[in-house]
Every structure is written in C-alpha cells, then in structure tokens.
Structure 1
C-alpha cells in the first residue's frame, strides 16, 4: 500500500512539474498577402507602403518582445533547406524579387527572425480537399430536398467586419483570429460540408475529415519540432482556417498555453 501511495505521489509531483513547462503558443492566423494562388489570397495593394511596413515592423517587434523562440510556417517540411537559404538572403538584404517579398512568411516570420534569431520552421503538409466528390454529389442531388432541417438554419455570421484597407494590420489580425471569425471559418467544414450526404452516405463528413487530417499532420510536424527544454514561446503563422483547426488541438494538449493576439499586440 505504501509503495502505491508513493508512486501516486511521485506521479502527481511529476505531472505538476510538467504543467509548469507549458509552451506559450501564439496562433497568428493570416490571410495570404498575394504571393500565392491560394483561394484565401487577399489583395494587399499597399503592402509596401510606409504605413504598412511600419505596422509589420511593429508586429515583428511585438513577437520578438514576447520572446518568440520558433515560428512555424505554412511551407512544406521538405522545403526547409530552401527556406533557410531564403532567410539568409533576406538577412543580408539580397532578396529583390517582389513576388518573394510579398509572402507573409518573409514579411512577418523572416522580419521577426532578424530581430531575435528565432528559428523559422516549415511544418506544412499539402493535402488536396476532395472537391470532386462534393461536385459529383451536387450534380446527382441537384434537385433533391435535404431531409435534415438543421442544415437549413439561417446563416449566423452577419456582423459587419472591418476591412483590411481601412484597418491597422495588428487590429485586423485580432479581428481575423477572434472567436467570431474562427467560428465563421469553421462553419464551412462543420455545417455546410456536413449537409452533403443522406443515410449512410457521408460525402461531406469525408471532406471535412480530409481537412482535419491535414491539420493534424501539421500539428504533428509542430510537435516534432518542439523542445520542452528550450522552447518557451512559439508562433504558428498559417492561413486563418488552419489556425482555427489547430487551436482545437493546442487547447486540449496539456503542454501548451494559447496567448491571445490582443495580449501580444496591445499589452
């Protein structure tokens, strides 16, 4: 009995100690600045204006001041060597290609790394969503009435949002990453997609599962690059729909603590 109590005590102490080693996570869900053909690309016509460059410099400084150790970015893992080379060119101010300079990885991750030598790590995993199955389902059931009334509920996200062109970048990022925006981004996967299917047909669920699978692989790649002995704060710079999913994984993992962007940018 004493051995069991001692084991429970040691286990409890060990668990308590590990809880104090939580890594702070800053989920910087972003829009794509225009260097990509991604469907979430956003026109950022004044990116190189003095105003926007000052805003980006401030964001980088805030991330640096918060003690960022690593920045995980939306770049495939097998491209790490190329990313390192690109960062070295950026540090020596040798990148002149505007298309490269337009990338948010360059504008935020590289900019921050220059300030505090934070490591920029590629953790993306490319995985195409099965839109073909969705399209096929639509053709077959084009004239059908969905038998499940829940999927006909009113669209809940009607709040007017601040436009990028009229909003300071840090403020826009806070809006893009708040609960309202996260739920709006997830609605496509947790509501609309799930309407595709009747009975034992789960076409929509399979669509959402593929996206969960991709983001869980990204999360796995992040875990593979975390060092609890040295990493205190990490940034995840990914498209906002990714960070909305990734947040679910980080929130339910005992070794991580999410830091809200308001705290990073405005405190």
Structure 2
C-alpha cells in the first residue's frame, strides 16, 4: 500500500511547470541524434500540431536549452516571431519550431535559456582497459539494443516519438544510459565511470541553478523544452523542490 505524505513539502504558491522532453530537431553535437528534416513542410506542420496541444497548458514563461549568454538575442528573435509567426529560420531547431509556437499561442512574452556546457565522455565504458570484471555494462547495452529494435523509434510519428521521450520509463533509461550505468565501469580501487557520470549530473544541476536564478512569481506557468535526458534530471529535481509543481505532459499529448 502506498504511504501517505507525513508532512507538507510544497509551498502553497508552488509554480506549475510543464517539463517537456524532446529529441533535437536540428543539428546536435550529442552522441545520438534522430533523423528529422527540420526544413520539411510536413514535419513543421506536425510540430505545430503538437505545439497546439502543449499550448493548452497556457504558459507565461518559456525555458529552452540554450546558454543564458544568448538570452538577449533569444528574446529579440522570439519577440520578432510573436509579431511575425511566418518568419523563416535557416536551420530551425526544436526551439524555433516548437518552443516559440507554444509561447506564441499564449502570448507568453518571456523566454530564457538555461543550458550549461561541460565536457563529458559518453563512451568511457568502451575505452577503459583492464576493467573490473562486472558484465553489467555490456549486458545492459545488449538488452537495450534488443528493446530499441522492438520500439522501432525512428519509424514512429512525431507525436509518438514525443510520447516515448516523455514516458517515465524512458526518462529513467536516459539517466541510466547517460550516467548511472557508468558506475559499473572502473578499474580496481578507482572510479573512472562514476566520476564521468558525476560530470553529467554536475551539468544538469548547474542548468537547474540557471533556472532558479530566473525571477518567477505565483502567477507564472513555466514551459520547459529540452533534450529529454535533461528533462529526466529536472523531473527529479522538481519533484523534490518546494517551489515547483510538475504537470503531467500526457494531459496534453492526445
């Protein structure tokens, strides 16, 4: 039987947040990418349909995966989009295609970037020599390769891809595959994999700190759009935060 709360841990004026994960729709330097033509008219139309669904959340503030140093230019371009939603972008990403449109449909005036870049070796598990003989790392990727084939992600519709990206099990998988599985990779008496995993946590907690530097009030409703591995971490952070109240994205993904 599920345990009942033993004390109150959210402020009465906790801010609603729709924390939404996506694959990167334009160029990405990430180790993994999705084949998606961001300039294809049909794809752009499909994104607008999703934007219309998510706009039902009625955000007042938009948060995206861009460093805060770009905030002035980001706000300027977004303001231009609000005036002219037919403006074109040479190489649009999920920011221009989805975040701008969700904001425009609600006349949200503020947009901020919270990304923080840090170096990180995703592939350290395959490069360390003389590893302690625990086969969990290798077995896990064999399992995931098999399950990914069943999922057939690349052939899903845009909406179904985004449903996968925001599924709780998939979000846990993203934390595992990006970080925690590396705790099984080490040489005797050392912590090479764990230390590398900590860098990814470090990046995400710094991104979260960037969010917490933005002035928000009890009347705000926040829409966050990031690569889904960051979404996964932010779900954990916000679940424990007294300031934020997570909203289920599946209330809007029809």
- Indicate the structure with greater helix content: 1
Structure 2 matches for 1:177-192, cutoff 5 A? 177-192=166-181
Question: For residues 230 and 152 of structure 2, what CA distance do their matches in structure 1 show?
Answer: 21
Whether the 8 Å CA contact 1:34–1:41 is kept in 2: the answer is no
Change (3 A) 1:252 1:16: closer
Whether the 8 Å CA contact 2:38–2:44 is kept in 1: the answer is no
Q: Say whether residues 1:71 and 2:59 are aligned partners.
A: no
Change (3 A) 1:145 1:108: closer
Among 133, 139, 156, the alignment partner of 1:147 is 133
Number of residue pairs aligned between Structure 1 and Structure 2:
242
Shift in Å, 1:212: 0.5
Change (3 A) 1:218 1:184: same
Moved more, 203-212 or 257-266: 257-266
Shift in Å, 1:34: 2.3
Q: Say whether residues 1:257 and 2:248 are aligned partners.
A: no
Change (3 A) 1:98 1:87: same
1:210 maps to: 199
Change (3 A) 1:205 1:145: closer
Structure 2 matches for 1:66-145, cutoff 5 A? 66-91=57-82, 92-93=84-85, 95-99=87-91, 102-118=92-108, 119-130=110-121, 134=124, 138=127, 141=129, 144=130
Structure 2 matches for 1:156-195, cutoff 5 A? 156-157=143-144, 158-159=146-147, 160-167=150-157, 169-195=158-184
Among 44, 51, 54, the alignment partner of 1:53 is 44
1:11 maps to: none
Q: TM-score, normalised by structure 2?
A: 0.82
Whether the 8 Å CA contact 1:31–1:40 is kept in 2: the answer is no
Whether the 8 Å CA contact 2:179–2:200 is kept in 1: the answer is no
Larger-Rg structure: 1
Shift in Å, 1:47: 5.3
Structure 1 stretches of 5 or more lacking a match?
1-14
Shift in Å, 1:191: 4.2
1:36 maps to: 28
Whether the 8 Å CA contact 1:151–1:191 is kept in 2: the answer is no
Moved more, 21-30 or 186-195: 186-195
Q: TM-score, normalised by structure 1?
A: 0.79
Change (3 A) 1:256 1:162: farther
Q: Say whether residues 1:228 and 2:220 are aligned partners.
A: no
Question: For residues 238 and 213 of structure 1, what CA distance do their matches in structure 2 show?
Answer: 16
